[in-house]
């Protein structure tokens, strides 16, 4: 295969790994059911997937730049990819906390804090699982082989 074809294959593997990682992270949040009966199940699943698609669109460019840097620098370490997954999850948690209303939730009305221990754990776990899937698909073989000079 020529060099252009190998570049296309690597680009395809990175894109598939990124999309699969996002899908696993969204599925983890839907499966662990942060809904607690507020919405019917199909509607809650559709809303969660739509919300995470929106978040992915907001975080797409920084994450893709980091993946591009990992490809160019040939970083293959699982710990690096898991750390980046935790960093992305922490960014989501920070964005959620920043967008939250400032008033204290009223337990009489059934309100709960925006960031609970369960939500933090699920978000961090989703970031780790998404990073693991992305590493399994594209990160283990990051970077192209250095062409031999003749």
Say what the pLDDT of residue 145 is.
66
Say what the pLDDT of residue 133 is.
86
Q: What is the pLDDT of residues 57-109, one digit of tens each?
A: 666 667 777 777 777 788 888 888 888 888 878 887 887 777 777 766 666 66
DSSP for 93-114, please give it.
Answer: HHHHHHHS-SSPP-GGGT---S
Say what the pLDDT of residue 70 is.
78
Say what the pLDDT of residue 56 is.
65
The pLDDT-based confidence of 139 (bands split at 50, 70, 90) is confident
Closest by CA to 64, choosing from 25, 14, 30, is 14
What count of other Cβ atoms lies within 10 Å of the Cβ of residue 120?
15
The pLDDT-based confidence of 53 (bands split at 50, 70, 90) is low
The residues spanned by each domain of the chain are 3-99+112-139
Tokens for 118? 């369960």
Q: What's the mean pLDDT in 20-25?
A: 79
Tokens for 27? 């599925």
Q: What's the mean pLDDT in 6-18?
A: 80
The DSSP 8-state label assigned to residue 1 in this structure reads -
Say if CB 18 and CB 71 are below 8 A apart: no
User: For the chain, what percent of residues have pLDDT higher than 70?
Assistant: 69
State yes or no: pLDDT of 55 exceeds 70.
Answer: no
Say what the pLDDT of residue 10 is.
78
Q: How big, in percent rounded to 5, are the helix, strand and coil portions of the chain? A: 75, 0, 25
């Amino acid at each position: 295969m020529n060099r252009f074809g190998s570049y296309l294959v690597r680009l395809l593997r990175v894109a598939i790994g990124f999309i699969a990682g996002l899908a696993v992270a969204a599925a983890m949040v839907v499966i662990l059911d942060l809904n607690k009966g507020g919405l019917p199940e199909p509607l809650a699943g559709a809303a969660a997937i739509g919300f995470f698609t929106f978040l992915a669109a907001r975080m797409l460019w920084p994450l893709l730049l980091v993946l591009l840097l990992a490809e160019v620098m040939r970083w293959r370490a699982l710990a690096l990819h898991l750390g980046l997954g935790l960093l992305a999850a922490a960014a989501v948690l920070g964005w959620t906390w920043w967008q939250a209303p400032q008033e204290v939730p009223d337990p009489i009305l059934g309100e709960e804090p925006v960031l609970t221990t369960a939500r933090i754990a699920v978000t961090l776990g989703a970031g780790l699982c998404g990073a693991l899937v992305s590493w399994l698909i594209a990160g283990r073989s990051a970077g192209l082989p250095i062409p031999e000079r003749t």
